[in-house]
Amino acid sequence: MAFPSGTPTVTLTGTLPAAVAGTGYGGQVVLTPSAILTDSTRHAVYPGGGRVDIVDGAFSVQLIPTSAAGISPAGWRWYVDVQPNNGQRVAFWAAIEGADGATIQLDSLVPTQAPGGGSVGAPGKSAYEVAVAEGFTGTVTEWLASLVGPQGPQGPAGDPATNLVVSVNGQQGAVDLNAADVGADAAGSATAAQTAAAADASSKVSVHASAADPHGDRAWADAKFALAATVTALNTYVDDTVNRVAAIESGTAWLSGLHVAGDAEVSGGDLTVHDTAKGYRFRRGGSALDLEATGADLIVSNWSGTGFNGTQYAFDRYASNALAAQHAGLREFVSSLYGTVVHTIDPNGNRLGFHGKPAITQQAVTGSRSDGTALANLLAALDTLGLIDDQTTA
């Protein structure tokens, strides 16, 4: 049984003993719902059940549990019909309940009365429940097996001379029948009737085709049909559309705008954005991968918002008329992205830091050269800046 994605289902499985399945352990199990089921959640209709083969006495089938939410009508049941080969056929109504994905064993099912049996009185006990009340102990499968009695003795052989099939006219023995014996038409009458019917049909078709207006529609106004001029105009529109699409695909036509929802790919070419004055392109046709600009300085910036809005931070400016570049904002040099900072250049705070030292402002060196205090202050300033590791002694 196949169900739409998300439909709650359980797996009904069971193994039949030889007393029920008979020799061969084959056959089938037919499952039929008591009504056409509707699923308001998935907007689906399940008009019927299905069947599954019994293989070596066992079967397994996926179906909708009678306790599934959103399945109508309320109180529906499954009709379980076990049809083993060469064995005892048993059938009963059952409420097959369980959470989505659960496995239900056949011998755990309790037969119930058929649904829709009226509203007078409470449902009576099933045959299995009556048997349990009378002292039977065991599962449903064991109870079904107990219903199968021993095979009876072989009956006596009939007399071939008299034990013949009785014919439709009450005679015994070898009987020659004619059309009159069974109330059939005489030989050849069917062919004659078919020939007459074919001739009558051919005549009526000819009359119909030659009628002025057999369906009452040939007198309609011409405006209710597609005129030749309309068809010609439509064909012109279609041809124009095909030509425009072909021009776009070959690169000889321009689109006034393009919005792509999802991935976009340029294969075997460069991506160029430009007008008559300036532009930029991503070029892969050279010896390297190039980001190029033309007609104006190239500015590299980032926005704080998610749609090119908020605050714009401009980091780099590459001049269009000289081999010159400007870098704005804090610069941190790291061994890997988001890693530990090694060197820092902070033009906003006019600070520097090297070899992992925090960035600091310009250091003042004081003291006397003659007594060595100036040298000591210089070494301390360079060490604080991170340019040296002062390991000198007094």
Q: Which residues contact residue 6 at a Cβ distance below 8 angstroms, ignoring those fewer than 6 apart?
A: 41, 42
> In terms of Cα–Cα distance, which of 78, 86, 104 is closest to 28?
86
Sheet-wide strand order for 290-294: 271-274, 279-283, 290-294
Alpha helices in the chain (DSSP H): 18-21, 127-133, 140-146, 189-210, 228-250, 373-385
The answer, yes or no, to whether residue 119 has pLDDT greater than 80, is no
Round to whole Å and give the CA distance between 16 and 8. Answer: 26
CB-CB contact of 62 with 10 (8 Å): yes
Round to whole Å and give the CA distance between 21 and 82. Answer: 9
How confident is the model over 49-56, as a mean pLDDT?
86
Task: Give residue 238's pLDDT band: very low, low, confident or very high (50, 70, 90).
Answer: very high
Q: Which domains, ranges and CATH numbers included, belong to the chain?
A: 10-116+124-146 (2.60.40.3390), 287-328 (no CATH), 334-385 (no CATH)
The answer, yes or no, to whether residue 310 has pLDDT greater than 90, is yes
**Least reliable range by pLDDT among 123-137, 213-227, 255-269, 281-295:** 213-227
Strands (E), the chain: 10-15, 27-33, 37-39, 44-46, 50-54, 58-63, 71-72, 78-84, 90-94, 103-105, 111-112, 271-274, 279-283, 290-294, 298-303, 312-318, 325-327, 331-334, 341-346, 351-353
Which position has the higher pLDDT, 158 or 150?
150
What DSSP line would sit under 115-131, residue for residue?
A: TT--SSSPPPPPHHHHH
> Is the pTM of the predicted complex or chain greater than 0.75?
no
CB-CB contact of 16 with 54 (8 Å): yes
pLDDT, one tens digit per residue, over 211-220 is 777 776 666 5
Q: Which residues contact residue 222 at a Cβ distance below 8 angstroms, ignoring those fewer than 6 apart?
A: none
pLDDT of residue 204: 85
